[in-house]
Structures are given as structure tokens and as C-alpha cells.
Structure 1
């Protein structure tokens, strides 16, 4: 006989466990995407055409394909090649690659947004390429990129819900499990939506605050 549970503290705690995994996956993907994105951004503005075209190809590949397909390719594709990955590992790899491509394009635009006079002045001082980037260009590009970077992190958090398709139990998947156990989908998904909102809304507001702050400072 099928047993239907009521939505109570244990069910809510299970959702919070899913939230923990959502946050963990988002942070791991973002932390891995930062060096990857920086490498792609620097390759996109490098002098060598080979590096530029390679970085552009990586960006177009990940921006031009669904994140769901990228998850499938990492989890099932590597499995067919003999690399047995857990859902957590596969999701972390896929989201890190995804974040690297998108952050690389965001930061490429921010590097190119730094006034050319800054580069010309650094060149006139005989600064090397890496010194110029480290002390002149990247600090200014970092300031420009903050609103968009925070905004992308919000999208990354929401995107982790797709990891459920490969068996990773994050917040959305936890909500599905509880919904099937309680037969109260409206209540369960309302709670799940409220948790997502409580997590993402402050970050979205902070992104808009940074955008307004820097816009006023540049006037």
C-alpha cells in the first residue's frame, strides 16, 4: 500500500540539504571558472591569432549549446570512454567549463572596455605585457566586471537545477523527491521557489547596486 507523508520538518530539512548541495556546486563551478575564464579572456585579447581563435571557439561552443547537453556529454560521454564519474564530479566539471566560457567572454569585454589610453601609457613606460595586464588593465577591468560577474553567479545558481537530470540531488531534485512522497507539489515547489528567491534576490540586488555605484562614479 502506498504511504503518503505530510510535509513537515524532516521534509524541509531534506530541502535544506539540497540547498547545501546547490550552493556547493555553484561555488565549486565559480571557483573553477575564475581561472579558466581569466585564461580565456586573456587569450581572446592576446596578440597571437591562434590563441584568439581557440578561445573564441571555446566560448561559441559553450554559449551555442544547451547546458543540459553539456551535462549529458560530460556524464555519459566520459562514461562511454571508460571514465566512470559520480553525478557530483560530472556536474562540477560541466558547470566549471560552462562558467569558464561565460566568465571569459564577460571579462574579455571588460578588458576591452578599459580606455586604450591606459594601455598606450603603460606601453610608453616600457612595461611588459604581463606587468601591464597585472597592474594597469586587469584592476580596472575587474572593477568594470563586478556587476556582470555577480549577475552571472545568480544565473549559475539557478542553472544548477539542471544537474538533477544526471542524478545529482540539489534543491530542485530534492523538491521533486519530496513532492512525490507527499503529493503536495504546490506546497513543496512554493517552498523551493521561496528558497531560490531568498538565495538569488539579494545577489541580484547587489549586482544592480554595483552597476549603479560604478555608473555614478564614472560620471
Structure 2
């Protein structure tokens, strides 16, 4: 039975935002850990580690996120491992974020002037101390803007989790649209909600990028 779009439907969509934000937070946190390891592996002196990290990046950057969600959710089921859509979405998005953040942060590490690394070698610092005390603090300043920019893309990417049945913002909109048959109103609200979440982050990323550019010109 078709029902009108009312306050209950409105709040059902709005409350689904919490699952979009939670999935984004989990994927970003996991991706940050994985991305840091990938970035450090990409600039490692070990050739095997560098190529393994490069292969991981190429795999996840060269395949659609939707396919990655399918492979995690349905692939594990083929081998007899039942998996919850929430876990599948978080795992797939974490791998996706690890690949992209790893490459972003690799570029930021390599943006640190070569002289800084050479000076740390001259002081006899170990690889760990060199990264912790010299390279990473400087790279982190460069990394803020592109990292926030990727977070915006990750939040929007969580909408694809609806395809495996995870009820986040987009899936909530689909459910309400199936009950009300008012797609313009329903998905207009969904789009507006994404905009409200992502627009401030986009502005912040742009300001940080401009601030870093101004500092670099001095």
C-alpha cells in the first residue's frame, strides 16, 4: 500500500545519517592505519615491500568500489563464511581507503625536501626515528587538505553499501521511496543531506590547501 511522505518517513531518512557517518568513520580510521603502512612501504628501502604495496594500490584503485563490495560480501559467502552487510561494507571500504590514503600520503612523504632526509642520515637517525621526528611531521602538513578531500569522497562512497543491503542514508531513501513512490522528494532530501555533510568538509579542505600554498610561497 502506498503511503504519503510524512514526518515518520522524514525522520527515518534523517536518522539513517548516523549509519553513514559511523561507516565512514570506521572505514576512514581503518584506512588511516592501513594507508600509513602502505605509504611507509612505498618509500621503504626494501624493493619487495615497495612492489607489494604498489600492487595493492593498483588493485584497489583500478577496480570499482562497487565490485569490491560485491567480492567481499558474496565472495566470502561462497566459501561458507556468512558475513553481515555492516562488516562487509566496513571491510571493503577500509581496504579501499587504505589504497587511496596510502598513495596520497606517499606523495606527501616524498614532497618533504630531500635535504631533510639527508640531514637525518648525517645525524645517524634510524629509519623509525627519521620518519617519526623529521619526515612525517612535515608530510602531515601537506597531507591535511587531500586527506579531508578524500574523506568527502569516502562519505559519498558509502552510498554504494546500499547494494549489499546495508541500511545507510541512500538505502533508507530507497526504502521510503518504495513505500511512498515520491522519488523527487525522497532522493532530493537524501541529496540535500549528503550536501550538508560534505560541503563544510570541502570548504575546510580548500582553505587548508590555500593556507599551505600561501605558506610555501613565503
TM-score by length of 1: 0.98
SS of 1:154's equivalent? helix
Matched residue, 2:95: 97
Q: Which residue of 189, 203, 206 corresponds with 2:204? A: 206
Q: Which residue of 124, 133, 146 corresponds with 2:144? A: 146
Cα RMSD of the aligned pairs, angstroms, is 0.7
Q: Deviations over 1:114-159 (max 9, x none)?
A: 0001001111111111000001000111110100000000000000
Distance (whole Å) between structure 2 residues aligned to residue 110 and residue 69 of structure 1 = 29
1:186-197 aligned at under 5 Å gives the runs 186-197=184-195
Matched residue, 1:155: 153
Matched residue, 1:23: 21
SS of 1:192's equivalent? helix
Distance (whole Å) between structure 2 residues aligned to residue 9 and residue 114 of structure 1 = 53
Q: Deviations over 1:73-131 (max 9, x none)?
A: 10010111121110000000000000001000000000000000100111111111100
Q: CA deviation at 1:17?
A: 2.4
Q: Which stretches of structure 1, 4 residues or longer, exceed 3 Å deviation after superposition?
A: none
Structure 2 segments unaligned to the other structure (5+ residues): none
SS of 2:163's equivalent? helix
Distance (whole Å) between structure 2 residues aligned to residue 137 and residue 152 of structure 1 = 22
Distance (whole Å) between structure 1 residues aligned to residue 198 and residue 92 of structure 2 = 21
Distance (whole Å) between structure 1 residues aligned to residue 95 and residue 14 of structure 2 = 26
TM-score by length of 2: 0.98
Q: CA deviation at 1:6?
A: 1.5
